[in-house]
Amino acid sequence: MFDLGSVAQTMSRLVSGVGDDQLGDPTPCREWTVADLLAHIHQFTTVFTQNGHKEAVQPPVGLVEDWRVAIPGQLDALVRAWRETSAWQGRVSAGGLEMDAADQATVGIEELTVHGWDLARATSQDLRVDDADLDRVDRFFDLFGPEPFGPAARIPDAATRLDGIVARTGRDPSWRPEH
């Protein structure tokens, strides 16, 4: 077991830093706007929370109107759910993929970290992830392969550890929004 609190708090901070004028802006996720990315964050955190409680999965569709309250609230619920031993037991399903619950927690930390990077880059915010959480994200690649989302992007010479992780997901670590 590990705690999702640090990455969830970081994501909450990033969500609170999104301006209404940024919702239509592009993100490093090729086909997604900031609004699409926020909707995805809310959806997966809802599903992972429901899986942690072993409840029927009912994700929200699209970006909810009260996203500034709903997403941080869901992130808090996610953290609380996965602090329970029962969350880590059994099998769960997300996105049509069934896996051990403990592996889903690893997917959760990868999703929060990588999509945190996406949101930070798209909205010109700062993101720092501690080494212990990056170690857990590395575990994701141990579980799902070195290039689970397709070919990795080129890693710049002066890359950080987070840049290397982002590149392994096929994202360009040097991506910046065009203004």
pTM: 0.95
Looking at the chain, the whole-number percentage of residues with pLDDT higher than 70 is 99
DSSP for 94-147, please give it: ETTEEEEHHHHHHHHHHHHHHHHHHHHHHTT------HHHHHHHHHHHHHH-S-
* pLDDT one-digit tens code per residue, 12-32: 999 999 999 999 999 999 899
Q: Following CA atoms 57, 52, 104, 118 in sequence, which dihedral angle do they give, to the nearest 10 degrees?
A: 80
